[in-house]
Structure 1
């Protein structure tokens, strides 16, 4: 069995926290890829392409298994990005109130020795409560989810916004499907347990 270095192709502190749950040593690297959607590209095709591109674009110094992940939030067939401002976060949450939104997360695992890549798509649906404007503003002011797709942190106070969650892996909602990742790592001979 090859002694692989595990690399997370992400600077996201949220993805790093998730990968820490597996209690395996890893390093992070900054992926070098253009994240602009292609003309006519579906949300699912976009996240799979970007996850693979991120995994393959990191500079490596040794034989590695590189994890790439990308996520989009879709409401009313439109990709919703990170809000970056209080006003945009309030606008996004107002639009999402009482509705169901879907998160598509692409996951890729690249083996630098064999030049092979595994990739998978995971879907997660969030069903929002009917929220008042005051509830939305209170939430945004308390948690400031300006760098989170959909304008919430489900691992924090954001849970109060939801009526229910639907998906196989709650980690997917935060941006790294660990159940799928464990299977991919096992296929490459990297045992988590």
Structure 2
């Protein structure tokens, strides 16, 4: 495919983590911040929540475009039937990681690709399991102090020192744990006639 024939690509996120991930596939994309209420609906499951929000974020940007492909993504952690969000404080991060010690947390990442011209929507939810080794409070406190993972769901950065907290990772795409399932995204782009290898 000729480079000029590539549709404009938009990432409906200002997350530096998602931008770094998308740059693995292509550096030719724009970023935009979607104005979307992320509050869950009454009795909404984690899976339905991330799928709905991924689509909503992509559509929020696509509505202002004539052409182009818009990527939306949303992620939550699920543990003991509860949705786990970003800790925002060191005290909350300590409580989260303390509860995860010796247990497995499931991360659900919603991914959507919206064609702004046709309105076509592709959407999936990608699960990824993170098993934590048994952690001491001193280890948890040292980790939080060193990496400050206060803006990350689950209180860790798997692409950094957070890897030292785990005993096992299990899933189809490790990129989904950071926030953007690139294997699934690449397939969605192929479905829209975009091959990043031939750009």
**TM-score (normalised: structure 2):** 0.94
Correspondences of 1:3-42 after superposition (within 5 Å): 3-42=6-45
Q: Deviation per CA, 1:45-99, whole angstroms, max 9, x where unpaired? A: 0000000000000164441100000000011110010000111111100010000
Q: Answer yes or no: is 1:136 the counterpart of 2:134.
A: no
Asked if the contact 1:70–1:105 (Cα under 8 Å) also holds between the matched residues in 2, the reply is: yes
Q: Answer yes or no: is the 8 Å Cα contact 2:58–2:72 preserved in 1.
A: yes
Q: What is the Cα deviation at residue 148 of structure 1? A: 0.2
Is 1:173–2:171 an aligned residue pair?
no
Q: CA deviation at 1:124?
A: 0.1
Aligned equivalent of 1:112: 116
* Runs of 4+ in structure 1 over 2 Å off: 59-62
What is the CA–CA distance in structure 2 between the aligned matches of 1:13 and 1:86, rounded to whole Å? 21
8 Å CA contact 2:54–2:111 kept in 1: the answer is yes
Deviation at 1:23, TM superposition (A): 2.7
Partner of 1:47: 50
2:150 maps to 146
C-alpha distance in structure 2 between counterparts of 1:61 and 1:111, whole Å = 10
Residue 73 of structure 1 pairs with residue 72 of structure 2: no
SS at match of 1:35: coil
**3-state SS of the aligned residue for 1:21?**
helix
Matched ranges for 1:78-89 at <5 A: 78-89=82-93
Partner of 2:128: 124
Deviations 1:117-141 (A, max 9, x none): 0001100000000000000000000
Is 1:162 the counterpart of 2:163? The answer is: no
Q: Secondary structure at the match of 1:57?
A: helix
Mapped partners of 2:98, 2:14: distance in 1: 29
**Bigger proportion of residues as helix:** 2
Structure 2 gaps of 5+ residues are: none
Q: In 2, distance between residues paired with 1:139 and 1:60?
A: 42
**Secondary structure at 1:125 match in 2:** strand
